[in-house]
Structures are given as structure tokens and as C-alpha cells.
């Protein structure tokens, strides 16, 4: 075969002044297996290195699904054919590392959807045919919506009337939902937008002429089948859409053939339409020769000009022979270059893929006497960027969400490898208190993948990332986006005081409630627990790990504290980032109760709050209350908005008269001036009084 290169396309309907040299063709190969190749995938993560996976239909004997893997030079590594009277229309990649082949099967006079999935070694994982009786159903495209949930589009025909079909299925072909749009529509391409919206591109009849137009349709996964948006593009004659690619909401490229905008209505030309999610016609271009031409596939090339490579065929002369074509256009529709496979036989490209070095891999069919699979590979595209950015890399240390106490913080990250030979990379370490990194502290350029930062910052969350840059200025930011750590200069809690029982107090009950102020830790994200420590007759013991600032203790049968013992007590606050402890300001003493001398509290005949004095108050106030039965009692202080400010009592009480003191604090902090309410509760009984705090 002969290859023609052109910096400008063969015949321009829309002339373009933009031109570039096409890549050199280094491999063109016709396979001995009879059939047609329709899809190609190139990805080292899913197929063996230096190889290409392609799918199509084998027509040797009977038509069957065909999948093969070849080395770049065209040598077949493995190939498999499955089915009987099957036609493969396209191939897609699933998230579970399998290839999904879709088309149709002809059996017993009916056409049904056919889906096969195989791994990248060619092992078949599933072979499913499904459809309705008395209905012909053709599968054209399949895409994964979410894991194990796939969207299928194509064509269903009942009694000669064709509708666009849309199905939601699982990997085994079980149909969850099915919808059709018609009449006279068919789907060719599916583009899921996240896991919620679904774009379908195909062909629709325009009424009343019954001519075919390009179709774009949007539906949703949650309202599957609902026709949220529809737009058609075309003229007075037939326009057939074969492929589409959606870049984002602002740009979608539709490709196919046109008769309306060709040099003559009797022939087809390549037609490309640029639109957006609103269906606006941004621009359209047509190219053609003396006979039929068509664009069968379009590939978005991730290079600096955001261009597109189109695969299809063009007519060489008036003989009707058409030849396989690759052409590149930029985002404005201007032609950059074309490659045409010239020969006296019929050939066409059905699909094209690109690797990270901007080499193109095209597959299709050639017909010397019968159909044979055809494959072409190019050198890197001269119109692609000469310089490539550094490869992705990850952050190493500090770990995400780490807490650091050391004065020296060591940052490390993976090496960013540049694919361009001889290129050099430098790094910049960026730190900010905001994840937007609008005004980061930048450290660099750094030649190595490590940096030691000496700092005395305290209680600060620091977000960090690393950027790698090559000599040409190409930039790659770490794949983590950013990490966050907390820098803490270790501090113990702030000083705190004991509250009750007061120093030298004589207990009149075997049950005593011990209270203290909350110990505030200035270290962010730290936690505090308390140890209540007693010392009596040269013996110490403690109640450890208390989360609250109060605890009720029954001293009736305590093995260490006897009746009438004089006991010293204090509280130790423990923080954990890092482990540190601080004792209360006071070391207080109490005299334990004695049943022989203790006065039994007068039995109260009613329940409720008594006096609150002083009220209003400045620093503290004493609250009396009565309990008329053994009960779990709570005495709480609330703000005027109903927010709990402080719990003064949370313990079991016998019938009697009691007192409590509030020192005007909330969780160890001074409460503000204002109106508060003290509420006494015991079971269903409630008593409330108003307090006024004046600072």
C-alpha cells in the first residue's frame, strides 16, 4: 500500500491556512484473519507493554466476535474468536480490567444484543445475548456508569420501525431498565457524565422530509429514560453520525458524513460539528473528494492545541474506491494534517488510539478481494507538544493528618520522572494555612526529593504540596493534591482549681461528690482526662481516666478511707499530644463522715429549689434544694437560649436538704454576664429558678 501525507487535506470545502507535518507511518499491517477491526485500545496498565488490543468481527466461515493482542510491529501475540452469526460493533474498557465487546447476534430469524467481556489475556469472562421476541435489537455502544452497572445504546426495530434503545444492565446482561426513543432514531455513542447524567449521540429522522440528522440526547441515571434534552443537526439531505467525544460542558465534537453540505448531493463528505451542552452550533466543517468520504471515529488528543484526530475514509477518484484516512484538526476545526492509505483496493479506518508519546494506532479493514483487518502505527505527532511534563508523583512524609512535635520537619516525596531524554526537574515545596493555596510559602528550587524545615510554629494546621517543573516550564503537581499535618509545640493543660468539697470540709454523708474546674489544653485536637488522687495515712490511691470534671464516690465501705479519717485530695489533668500531666493548684483536705457523730439530714417533705444567694451575683452563688425521695438528681445551669452551661450535680440523692455552688463558669471558662436558669430534675419532677450574673 502507498501512504500519502499532506499538511492540508485533499480537497477543502472550508479552506484552512493552518497546516503541520503529519507523523511518519512506521507500521502498516494487513492481518491474515478475514474480518473487520472496529476498536483499538492502547494502555500499558491494561495490556502487555509494547502491544495493542483490538476488537472486531471475524468472517472466516461464520461471523464471530474477534479480540486480539498484537505487538507494535503487527505480530499477533494472541487472538480469540467467539460466537456464531455475531457482529461486533465496538469495544470499551471496564473498571475491573476487562474488555467489553458489544454488537448483535442473529439466531432463529431474530437479532439480539450480544455482549462479551474478556480480560487482557484474552480469557472470556462472559458471553450474553438478550432481547425481546419479535424485535430486532442491535447493540452499538456500551459504557460503565458505576461498578457493575453499564449503559447500552443501539437500535431496536419492530415491524420495520426503528427506535433508539437505551438500557441499564449488569455485567451478566440482566436488564435493570430499558427505554426507547423514536421513531426512526438510533444510538451510536454513549458518554456518561459522572454517575448521574448520560449523553447519547446518534441519528434521527427529520420530519417531514424523513432525512437523517445528527442527534444528541441527554438523560439521567436517576430518571432513566427521561428525555431531558434533545438537539439535532442537519440540512436538507442525509447526515449520518458515527462518533462523538465530549470534552466538557463547553465543547463536544460530532463526526460523520453529510450529503447536505457536500459538493454534490449524490456523494457524502466528512462532516464535523462542534457544539456544547446547550446544543449551540459553535462551528461546522466539511471536507470531501470526488466521491464518498466519511469520518467514522474521533479521538481527543491531550496536547497543547487540544486537537482531534479523525479516522475514516476518503475517495481517491471517481472510480468509487475509497481509502483509509487519518486527519487532525484543531479545536477551531482547522485541518492540520492528513494521512491517506492509497491503493487500488477499498480500505477504511474505524477507530484510532494514542499513547503518551503521541503515536497513533489506527485499525479498520482493507478489501483486496475479501475483508481483512488492517492496522497502522505512526511515529510521535510533530504537532503534539515537543516537551512533556514530568510524570505524576506522590508525597511520602509527613503522613496525611499527622501530628508533629519535632522542631525539624522532614518533607519527602517520590521522584518525578521526565519522559523527555536529558530533561532536568526541580521542585518547589508549597505550604499554606488554606487548602486553596492562594498565597503559599514557596521553598525552592529544590534539586532533591527531600527538604528539612526548621520551625517553632505551634498549634497550626499546615497544608503542603510539591510541584515539579522541567526546563521547558512544564509543570506537574503531586498526585495527592495536598496533605495536611498539625505542628504542635508540646504544652500541658492550663492551671485549674478544685471546687468541692471545700478545703477542711467535714462530710456529713457517706456519698460525696468531688468537683473541679475543666483543664483547658491549648494544643489543638488534644484530649484531657483526669485522675482523682487521695492520700491518707501514708497511703495513696487514685481513680484514673475520668472524662468529666465531677464524680460521685461512695465512702461507706472504702477499704482505705475510714470513718473520721482526714484525707488530702487533688486532681491531675492528663493530656496526650504528647503525654503530659498537670496537678490542680490546690491540695485540699476533707474529714470523712462518721455515722456516730454525723447529723442525719432532715427529711424533706417536698421537692424543689430553695434559696439562691446572692442573686444577682458576681463571682459565685449558693443554691439550696430539697429532694423528697431517693432519686438520680441533676442540677444544671442553662443560658437564656436553652444551651447547657454547666452541670452542678449529677448523682443519686437521698431525701434531704442540699446545697450547691456555681462559680459562674462554663467548661472552665468564665461565663458572660446575663440571665441564666438553674434547673433541678429528679425523674419527672422539675424545678427552675432564674439567675443573674453581673461581671
Provide the residue ranges of all domains of the chain, joining segments of one domain with +: 2-378, 395-486, 498-591, 608-693
Closest C-alpha to 472, from 506, 521, 509, 422 = 422
Any idea which residue has 479519717 for its cell?
A: 565
Q: Specify whether the CB–CB gap between 235 and 257 falls below 8 A.
A: no
226 contacts: CB under 8 Å, gap ≥ 6:
219, 220
Which CATH number does the domain 498-591 belong to among 3.30.2390, 1.20.1080, 2.60.40, 3.40.190? 2.60.40
CATH code, 608-693: 2.60.40.4070
395-486 folds as: Immunoglobulin-like (2.60.40)
Q: Which candidate, 546, 542, 553, places its Cα nearest to that of 573? A: 546
Instruction: In whole angstroms, give the CA distance from residue 526 to residue 516.
Output: 19
Q: How many CA atoms lie within 13 A of 13 on its CB side?
A: 21
**What phi and psi values does residue 582 have, to the nearest 5 degrees?**
-145, 130
Quick one: CA torsion of 50, 54, 215, 323, rounded to 10 degrees? 90
Q: Which residues pair with 530 in a beta bridge?
A: 546, 573
Strand 505-506 and strand 588-591: the pairing is parallel
| Residues 478/394, Cβ–Cβ less than 8 Å | yes
Residue 166: the pLDDT is 92
Q: Which of 430, 488, 483, 435 is nearest to 457 (CA)?
A: 488
283: phi then psi, degrees, rounded to nearest 5 = -165, 165
Is 498-591's fold the same as 608-693's? yes
**Residue found by looking up cell 449523553 in the block:** 199
Are 555 and 592 within 8 A, CB to CB? yes
Torsions phi, psi of 425, nearest 5? -125, 140
Kindly state the DSSP code that residue 604 receives in the 8-state scheme: P
Q: Which residue(s) pair with 531 in the sheet?
A: 572
What pLDDT, on the 0 to 100 scale, is given for residue 2?
47
Give CA–CA dist 228/181, Å, rounded.
Answer: 12
What pLDDT is stored for residue 557 in this prediction? 79
Give the CA diameter of the chain: 125
pLDDT average per 10 residues of sequence, the chain (695 residues): 41 39 89 91 60 91 92 90 93 87 91 91 89 91 89 90 90 87 83 86 77 91 85 91 92 93 81 95 88 92 70 78 90 89 81 87 87 90 74 90 77 87 85 88 92 78 90 86 75 81 87 88 73 91 90 85 90 82 90 67 74 86 89 92 91 86 86 92 92 86
Distance of alpha carbon 386 from alpha carbon 358, whole angstroms:
10
Rg (the chain; Cα; Å):
40
Do the bridges between strand 294-300 and strand 588-591 make them parallel or antiparallel, or are there none, so unpaired?
Answer: unpaired
**Is pTM, for the whole model, over 0.75?**
no
Residue 91 pLDDT? 94
- Asked if 362 and 39 touch (Cβ cutoff 8 Å), the reply is no
Task: Dump strand ranges (E) for 42-109.
Answer: 51-58, 64-71, 76-82, 86-93, 98-107
pLDDT at 489: 61
Q: CATH code for 2-378? A: 2.130.10.10
- The span from the CA of 480 to the CA of 593, in Å, is 63
Q: How many CA atoms lie within 13 A of 84 on its CB side?
A: 2
Cis peptide before 188 (omega within 30 of 0): no
Q: Give residue 362's pLDDT.
A: 96
Amino acid at each position: 500500500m502507498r501512504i500519502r501525507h499532506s499538511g492540508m487535506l485533499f480537497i477543502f470545502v472550508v479552506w484552512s491556512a493552518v497546516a503541520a507535518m503529519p507523523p511518519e507511518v512506521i507500521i502498516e499491517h494487513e492481518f491474515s484473519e478475514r474480518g473487520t477491526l472496529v476498536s483499538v485500545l492502547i494502555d500499558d496498565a491494561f495490556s502487555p507493554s509494547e502491544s495493542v488490543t483490538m476488537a472486531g468481527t471475524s468472517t472466516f466461515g461464520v461471523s464471530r466476535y474477534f479480540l486480539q493482542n498484537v505487538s507494535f510491529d503487527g505480530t499477533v501475540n494472541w487472538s480469540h474468536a467467539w460466537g456464531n452469526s455475531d457482529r461486533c460493533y465496538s469495544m470499551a474498557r471496564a473498571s475491573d480490567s476487562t474488555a467489553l465487546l458489544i454488537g448483535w447476534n442473529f439466531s432463529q430469524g431474530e437479532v439480539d444484543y450480544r455482549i462479551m467481556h474478556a480480560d487482557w489475556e484474552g480469557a472470556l469472562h462472559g458471553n450474553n445475548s438478550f432481547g425481546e421476541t419479535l424485535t430486532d435489537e442491535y447493540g452499538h455502544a456500551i459504557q460503565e456508569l458505576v461498578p457493575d452497572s453499564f449503559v447500552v445504546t443501539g437500535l431496536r426495530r419492530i415491524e420495520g420501525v426503528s427506535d433508539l434503545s437505551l438500557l441499564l444492565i449488569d455485567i451478566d446482561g440482566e436488564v435493570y431498565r430499558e427505554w426507547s426513543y423514536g421513531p426512526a432514531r438510533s444510538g451510536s455513542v454513549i458518554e456518561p457524565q459522572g454517575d448521574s447524567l448520560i449523553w447519547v449521540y446518534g441519528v434521527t429522522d427529520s420530519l417531514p422530509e424523513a432525512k437523517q440528522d445528527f442527534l444528541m440526547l441527554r438523560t439521567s441515571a436517576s430518571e432513566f429514560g427521561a428525555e431531558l434534552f434533545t438537539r439535532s443537526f442537519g440540512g436538507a439531505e442525509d447526515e449520518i453520525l458515527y462518533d462523538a467525544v465530549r470534552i466538557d460542558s463547553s465543547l463536544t465534537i460530532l463526526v460523520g458524513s453529510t450529503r447536505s453540505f457536500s459538493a454534490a448531493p449524490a456523494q457524502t463528505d466528512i462532516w464535523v460539528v462542534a457544539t456544547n451542552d446547550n446544543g449551540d452550533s459553535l462551528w461546522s466543517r466539511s471536507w470531501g473528494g470526488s466521491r464518498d468520504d466519511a469520518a467514522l471515529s474521533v479521538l481527543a488528543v491531550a496536547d497543547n492545541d487540544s486537537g482531534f484526530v479523525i479516522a475514516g475514509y476518503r475517495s481517491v477518484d471517481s472510480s468509487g474506491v475509497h481509502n483509509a484516512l487519518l486527519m487532525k484538526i484543531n479545536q477551531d476545526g482547522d485541518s492540520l494534517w492528513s494521512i491517506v492509505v492509497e491503493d487500488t483496493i477499498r480500505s477504511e479506518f474505524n477507530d484510532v488510539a494514542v499513547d503518551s508519546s503521541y503515536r497513533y494506532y489506527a485499525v479498520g479493514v482493507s478489501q483486496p478481494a475479501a475483508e481483512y483487518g488492517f492496522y497502522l502505527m505512526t511515529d510521535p505527532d510533530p504537532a503534539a507538544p515537543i516537551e512533556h511534563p514530568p510524570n505524576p508523583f506522590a508525597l511520602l512524609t509527613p503522613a496525611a493528618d499527622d501530628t508533629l512535635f519535632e522542631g525539624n520537619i522532614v518533607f519527602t516525596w517520590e521522584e518525578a520522572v521526565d519522559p523527555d531524554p536529558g530533561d532536568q526537574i526541580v521542585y518547589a515545596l508549597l505550604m499554606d494555612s488554606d487548602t486553596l493555596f492562594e498565597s503559599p510559602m514557596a521553598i525552592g528550587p529544590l534539586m532533591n526529593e527531600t527538604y528539612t524545615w526548621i520551625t517553632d510554629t505551634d498549634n497550626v494546621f499546615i497544608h503542603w504540596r510539591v510541584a515539579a517543573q522541567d526546563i521547558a516550564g512544564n509543570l506537574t503537581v503531586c498526585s495527592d493534591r495536598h496533605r495536611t499535618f498539625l505542628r504542635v509545640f508540646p504544652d500541658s493543660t492550663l492551671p485549674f482549681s478544685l471546687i468541692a468539697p471545700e478545703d477542711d470540709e467535714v462530710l456529713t454523708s457517706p456519698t460525696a461528690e468531688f468537683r473541679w474546674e475543666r483543664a483547658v489544653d491549648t494544643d489543638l485536637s488534644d484530649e484531657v482526662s483526669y485522675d482523682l488522687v487521695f492520700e491518707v495515712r501514708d497511703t495513696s490511691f487514685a481513680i484514673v481516666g475520668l472524662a468529666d470534671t465531677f464524680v460521685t464516690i461512695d465512702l461507706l465501705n472504702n477499704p482505705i478511707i475510714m470513718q473520721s479519717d482526714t484525707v488530702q485530695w487533688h486532681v491531675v489533668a492528663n493530656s496526650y499530644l504528647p503525654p503530659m500531666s498537670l496537678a490542680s493548684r490546690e491540695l485540699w483536705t476533707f474529714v470523712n463522715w462518721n455515722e456516730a457523730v454525723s447529723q442525719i439530714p432532715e427529711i424533706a417533705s417536698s421537692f424543689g429549689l430553695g434559696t439562691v444567694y446572692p442573686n444577682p451575683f458576681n463571682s459565685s452563688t449558693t443554691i439550696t434544694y430539697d429532694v423528697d425521695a431517693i432519686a438520680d438528681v441533676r442540677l444544671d445551669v442553662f443560658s437564656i437560649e436553652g444551651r447547657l452551661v454547666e452541670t452542678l450535680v449529677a448523682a443519686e440523692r437521698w431525701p434531704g436538704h442540699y446545697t450547691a455552688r456555681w462559680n459562674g463558669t462554663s467548661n472552665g471558662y468564665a461565663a458572660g454576664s446575663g440571665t441564666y436558669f438553674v434547673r433541678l430534675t429528679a425523674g419527672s419532677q422539675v424545678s427552675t429558678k432564674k439567675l443573674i450574673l453581673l461581671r
